[in-house]
C-alpha cells in the first residue's frame, strides 16, 4: 500500500498523505483559515486560484515583509461560510502549492498589542553622564 498518492493538476503538484488528517483535529469557529508553508514566490493571486474551488472567497492574502516585500511563508484565506472553509481545509491541507507542502489550520483571533510603556523620566532626554570622569585607576 502506498503511503502517498500524487495527482498532477496544472503546474501545481498535489500530495495527499495518510498522515494529513492529524492536523484536522480542531474545529472551525470562523470562516478564516491560516495557511502555512507557502513558497516565497506564492502571490495573493496564486493563493486565491488554489482555494477558490472550495467556495466563495472573501479574501486571500499572503503576508509579506515590509522591508523586502517578500512573502513570509504564510497567509490567510477567508470564506463566506464555515462549511466552505471546512471543505477547503480538508481539501488543501498537506498539499503542494507552488512546489511547497502547505498546511491549513483555523486562524486564531489576533491578540491586542499591549500599550507602549510610559517614558521613565520626563527630564531625561536619552543623555547620560559618566560618573567616573577624572578617575585614574590608581
Helix/strand/coil for 26: coil
Check residues 44 and 121 and name the one with the higher pLDDT: 44
- The structure's pTM equals 0.66
Please state, in angstroms and as integers, the Cα–Cα distance from residue 115 to each residue in 112, 118, 124, 125, 127, following that order: 9, 9, 21, 21, 25
Q: What is the mean pLDDT of the chain?
A: 80
DSSP state of 68: T
Give pLDDT tens digits for 40-96.
999 999 999 999 999 999 999 999 999 999 999 999 999 999 999 999 999 999 999
User: Any bridge partners for residue 47, and if so which?
Assistant: none
User: Mean pLDDT lowest for which of 12-21, 31-40, 90-99?
Assistant: 12-21
Amino acid at each position: 500500500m502506498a503511503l502517498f498518492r500524487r495527482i498532477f493538476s496544472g503546474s501545481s503538484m498535489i500530495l495527499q498523505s495518510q498522515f494529513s488528517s492529524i492536523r484536522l483535529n480542531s474545529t472551525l469557529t470562523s470562516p478564516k483559515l491560516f495557511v502555512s508553508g507557502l513558497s516565497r514566490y506564492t502571490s495573493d493571486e496564486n493563493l486565491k486560484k488554489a482555494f477558490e474551488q472550495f467556495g466563495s472567497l472573501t479574501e486571500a492574502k499572503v503576508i509579506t515583509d515590509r522591508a523586502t516585500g517578500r512573502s513570509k511563508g504564510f497567509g490567510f484565506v477567508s470564506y463566506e461560510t464555515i462549511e466552505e472553509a471546512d471543505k477547503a481545509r480538508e481539501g488543501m491541507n498537506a498539499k503542494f502549492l507552488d512546489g511547497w507542502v502547505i498546511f491549513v489550520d483555523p486562524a486564531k483571533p489576533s491578540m491586542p498589542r499591549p500599550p507602549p510603556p510610559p517614558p521613565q523620566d520626563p527630564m531625561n532626554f536619552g543623555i547620560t553622564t559618566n560618573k567616573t570622569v577624572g578617575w585614574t585607576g590608581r
